[in-house]
Amino acid sequence: MNPTARSPKTVFVTGSTSGIGRATAEMLLESGHRVVVHARNQRRADEVRSSLPAPVVVGDLASLAETMAVAETVQTHGPLEAIVHNAGIYETGGRVETGDGLERTFQVNVLAPYLLTALIPEPARLVYVASGMASGGEIVLDDLQRQRRSWSGTAAYQDSKTCLLALALGIASRYPETVVSAVCPGWVRTRMGGPGATTDVATGAATQVWLASSNDPAAHRSARYLRHMRDISFPHLTTVPANQTGLLAACAQLSGVELPHPPNRG
């Protein structure tokens, strides 16, 4: 399957100044699409502006206020065909709470994609970038931020990616007219993945590019989880309806923003 498409699309890619997100933006631009890039701060925005012919939206997804500002600003760049929720963090130290009083891994990896989905008029396609480590995560609805359970960066990351997959399935159920997909990019040679990773960055980004832009009918099937262009199974916990609805409710409560229903297509 070719990740290119026959007609240009406008795609917003979060966390797109480096790594897989940067490769996703570059590949979309090379295929003739319009991309809105996202940078965490002004320094990163200035760096990417000098090398990519794309508008840049700035905002730290570890802040509810800045995430809301990102959602507002990206809408000034016109209707979006697709959003690739790529941004994510992996904590290497101790448990950190943000200025909003939320555990940072959960806020960036789960709550921010929820909030952007809720606030940006629904595009035709939503792509959520997860991880193979989601298979080892838990969904504990009354302890999503590991306030009571033992905390480690690995466990928090695993949980966050498990929750992200449940979030994607919950959103696919809520918005049947939107093509909602999740991707496991593999172990990719990025700053997070390290030099010993087995997958190059272009391969890690190719599935997201295809899902966000291709006119291939196969790219228009919703509620899928893919790795390297092939369907894989969702972890069981993510397929439990109570986990999906419970997670959506928790995100609404923590962010103060309800997911629109029916879809807010603008």
- Count structural domains, the chain: 1
Confirm whether 110 is domain-assigned. yes
User: Does the pLDDT value for residue 1 go beyond 60?
Assistant: no
pLDDT at 188: 56
pLDDT at 169: 98
Higher pLDDT pick, 194 / 253:
253
User: Does the pLDDT value for residue 122 go beyond 80?
Assistant: yes
Confirm whether 176 is domain-assigned. yes
Q: Which residues contact 138 (CB under 8 A, 6 or more apart)?
A: 158, 159, 162, 237
Read off the pTM: 0.93
CATH code at position 146: 3.40.50.720
Q: How far apart are CA 246 and CA 141, in angstroms?
A: 7
User: Does the pLDDT value for residue 250 go beyond 80?
Assistant: yes
Mean of the per-residue pLDDT values for the chain?
A: 92
Share of the chain above pLDDT 90, in %: 86
Domain of 127, in residue numbers: 10-255
Residues annotated catalytic, as ranges: 157, 161
Confirm whether 197 is domain-assigned. yes
Q: Which residues contact 137 (CB under 8 A, 6 or more apart)?
A: 155, 158, 159, 160, 161, 162, 163, 235, 237
Confirm whether 1 is domain-assigned. no
